[in-house]
Every structure is written in structure tokens, then in C-alpha cells.
Structure 1
């Protein structure tokens, strides 16, 4: 039996004041919606009910049920807060996916060769990247774009990958110009 997929909606970033309030960094499209999912849980399964009080520098200020002082709030700093995947609504657009739905999908190329499994999804600011891990433990990163991943089939548990050609150092277009014979 596989455990339910958890989706991280927020993280406790710090404390606010002396009465146990915390600042919360959310990963939801609308920050205030984080409280609409009911109690959130941490990795150990502890439950946290948020009562939103305001905003501060792009983060929410919240009270957590049962947390009454600064020391208790400070102990929660860095705690990531999750819901189970089935608590989230389905994406409105067929071209949108929750990262949690992509992790674990098998990656296959156009010749139906296995390229491994999606082990993580990242976004460092320049677009989404899929991390693929093969059966030997090798890893590679691919852009999650229509060109590189033309098909995502959640029902079959796989993605079609058309990887960009591998390039070697010194073989890019700018190097060809440098190495071209002079006329």
C-alpha cells in the first residue's frame, strides 16, 4: 500500500509578537486560501488549524490553535504544512498539473524506452524542471515544456519525453563560429 500523496501548501517562516502568532509563507495561488482546506498537517501527521490575522511583507500572520506563546510558536519555525492530494480541487485546465501528480510518473521516449521516473519538480525562476531518476540512480533535469514533454498521461502513470539533444562542452553554436575556418 502506498501512502497518500501530501501536497505542501505552506511553511511556518517565523513568529509574530509574543502571543504565539506565526508568519506563514504559502504556496497556494491565493495565499488566504490556505486556511480554507481545514486542518493542515506536518510530516509526522500533527494537525494545525490556522486562524488568519493579517499580512506582513508578503506572508500571512496566523494563530495556530493551541499555540499561546512566543516560545511555542518559535518551536514551529520551519514546519511545512500539508494536505492530502485528494483535498485539492482538480486543475481547471487540462494543461495544468499539481507537482505531486507528476512525481512518480514513468518517463518514456518516442521509441517507448524507459528514461526513469519523475523524482522531483523544481522551479528556480526560469520555468519548471523535471528531475528524472533512472533505475541505476542516475539523474537528469529536463525542462517541463510542451516541446520536451509533449504528453502527460496521469491515468497510465507516464509522460512522453522528447529530450533535447545532448550537447558537449565546446560544441554549441557559438563555438562553431569561433572554430570556423577563416575565409
Structure 2
């Protein structure tokens, strides 16, 4: 199975180093010197990591055969893809790879069906499940332990404890469309 582990950013310096946007929780494993990574677009690779270091909080990589700024800049926005055994699990107890979470059924604690995870969105502050509801609409659910209370890979489901308004806003809109309105909200702090 192939997993996107990073996206190449701009060139750094004149010796072929590039900044990378890390998209893995295991950069020391996936982006270590000697790692050979496929690329998207495929014409850019495969790339072999020659060196890696952290500079001002950013990971910098240098690839074999990329020795100057122009060659490094030509790789900008290329995705780096690692080949991973589909049975491999992350090291942490409550960590999951995206492919393990896609297609899980999402239910509330009382068993009410919410939908199916179709995508994981990785944002700087937190990850989001993009869940397709039975009616075809989508809802975004923050992947935080206060809301996602259980991931059961054996049963292929994610159990959530949604706060008010997270998943039931469809009912509010349906009532408004029927001429009934939801209670007014005061958004002032």
C-alpha cells in the first residue's frame, strides 16, 4: 500500500536541499536517509533521501542526484510516497493510518447511524473525518478523543459523542425549510 508521507516545498540554499511538509506521524522512519520514495508526479522519482535535518523547525531533505537549487526547485509540490505493508500498524496505541479509517461506519454511542468516513483531512490544529451521511450530504467530525470515543477496526466502526449542533444541524435546516425555525442563537461572546 502506498501512503503520502510528505510534500516537497521550496528549495533551501544552493546545494539542493528542500523544505518538506511532513504528512506522517513517523518522519524518523519514513523520511530517513536511505529511504527510497515514489513520487506524484511519477516523473520526478523515485527519490532516495541522502540527508535530512531540522532547521528553524522545518525538515530539510536532500535527495541523491539533486545537487543545486534549480534541481531542488523543480521538485516543488511533488508528493513523496512510501510503500507500506497494509498490515503494519502505527507504533502508538491510539494511532491509525488513514487507510484504516476510510470506510469505517460512524455511529453515536446509542448506535444511531451517522454515516461513513470517506476522507481524512489533516489540518494544522487537528484532523477531521469527512463523513458521508445516508442522504448524501457530508459532515466534518473533529478527530479528537472527546468526540471520537472509540475506533473499532474489527467491527469497522467509529463511535462518536457529538456535541450539540455537530451532526444534528440537518434537522435545524429541515425544520426551517418546513416553516419551523430553530431556536435563535446568540453568538455574542
Q: Which runs of 5+ in 2 are unaligned?
A: 170-181
Asked if the contact 1:120–1:131 (Cα under 8 Å) also holds between the matched residues in 2, the reply is yes
Gap change, CA 1:170 and 1:117, over 3 Å in 2 = same
Residue in 1 that maps onto 2:153: 154
1:179 paired residue number: none
Partners in 2 of 1:24 and 1:84 — Cα distance? 18
How far has the Cα of 1:20 moved from its partner?
Answer: 2.9
Instruction: Verify: 1:7 aligned to 2:3, yes or no.
Output: yes
Q: Aligned partners of 2:74 and 2:134: how far apart in 1?
A: 39
Any stretches of 5+ residues in structure 1 without a counterpart?
176-183
Tell me if the contact between 2:129 and 2:141 (Cα under 8 Å) persists in the aligned partners.
Answer: yes
Q: Which residue of 2 aligns with 1:79?
A: 78
TM-score in terms of structure 1 length: 0.71
Aligned pair partner of 1:40 in 37, 40, 53 = 37
Q: 1:74 to 1:149 in 2, by over 3 A?
A: same
1:16 maps to 12
Q: CA deviation at 1:49?
A: 0.9
* CA distance, structure 1, for counterparts of residue 81 and residue 56 of structure 2: 22
> Higher mean Cα deviation, 13-22 or 27-36?
27-36
CA 1:50–1:124: 2 relative to 1, 3 Å? same
Q: 1:139 to 1:53 in 2, by over 3 A?
A: closer
How many residues were matched structurally? 170
Alpha-carbon separation, structure 2, partners of 1:111 and 1:23: 46
State the partner residue of 1:170. 184
Report the TM-score, using the length of structure 2 for normalisation: 0.69
Cα distance in 2, alignment partners of residues 125 and 54 from structure 1: 21
